[in-house]
Chain A
């Protein structure tokens, strides 16, 4: 089990306030008190004071309903612009009291609050955790900060609400939306390139064998050796010239910036699906062809952040 530093993080300050209906009940209580005084009706006094006491006790219950809760393990999944960003998080209750009807809200305050921002209600049993998910729509590519998750609850009576902002300081990257229907640019011929992992055409000189790396294209796997029971290995060739697939900003047509990025994204995804090796060239960035697992992510992130200004 991994150690998680946020286990010991303290929760932010909770803030308790009246809800709209809470205000209404407050006015009703005042009306009841005036009525009781006017009729000097002891029964009415009892009812009025009973509800007043209920009001006070509800305040305490609601205020305590977020005590000892912390948000951990925030994970976001890759998302393309126009889709919904999925978050998962753990709500951990480190006290021995039950926390009931806790909602988590992700809303940075720039957009109106809507039902989609909510996750919950959660019941967090003592000393245990629940996993919640929130999805928020992301229209634009780029890198965004997730400043906080707001926990809130109106339990038990709905007269008060308690909320607590949990700072999480996590950012997420929205990949550009893949679109465009241009065909792939022609592969480029590189004479003296001796970088690894390119693929070649024609019967070139066999250089040797190296172990297979997971995620690599299986074009050059020495299948005969595998059939003999050996581990998967790659036959490496070298030759006078090799063909490399590059996705270049300039080959993406005369489109506008966003459309070009979308086109490039589409090519990258297609190449990845087909297991092709490719490189990406953007003004100021060059990612050499590779087949390693992080390669696609790196390309997509570069595309996402190209010319992106943080808010």
Chain B
């Protein structure tokens, strides 16, 4: 509607047609809202119904097995732990370095900053499967040749999560008021001293929340790892970075494609565990964010 039309309709005195349009509109909005809420409800309920019977302490401590009755997810849990923690640590370090460099040591609006920023935005928009291809070509085969191991998976997920981490750490650094920095300079500190002793500690909650977001993204990712050959039957926890592995989302994928009904329950139970883990991670992030709300 253009402004003249809007103004014209406002002086339109047939208020009942306006009101019925209003109600219709509101109904459409409620329907949209319901779509989202019902999806969430259906997801949760469907999963709980299928999976509740398979959930047990045994489910977490057992390993996958050709016999569904004593299958469990221990190797997938530890595999996920190894892969996501490693990629979280490495990508956080890289992201911090990049963010500090961009925020503290380059001029805003410089061509370098804009170039790197555009680059990172592009990377953030790349589908996750393409990172899988990158991992397959460079890390699994190609120059590094690490094969289908924990190391390859961690490297691939690091690359995938890095853009997100860079964005969130930059936001965290940006949120630190410049008065803090300027006070530090006034006292004679160098730029690096300022960053290291003032800015970073102040940005810590933001960085922590950002890294938890990155880790939960890595935890739930399945597409790139499909290409990294993690669909095998692996019934032991990773023994090192050169070990075979499996992760929770792939365990779910594998069990979801099995035809026997018992596996459907296992897949649903594994989904419950995955969702609980993600929920716990997010709760921690929220707690950190709320607890450290410093008043500037």
Do the two chains bind? no
A residues neighboring B (CB under 8 Å): none
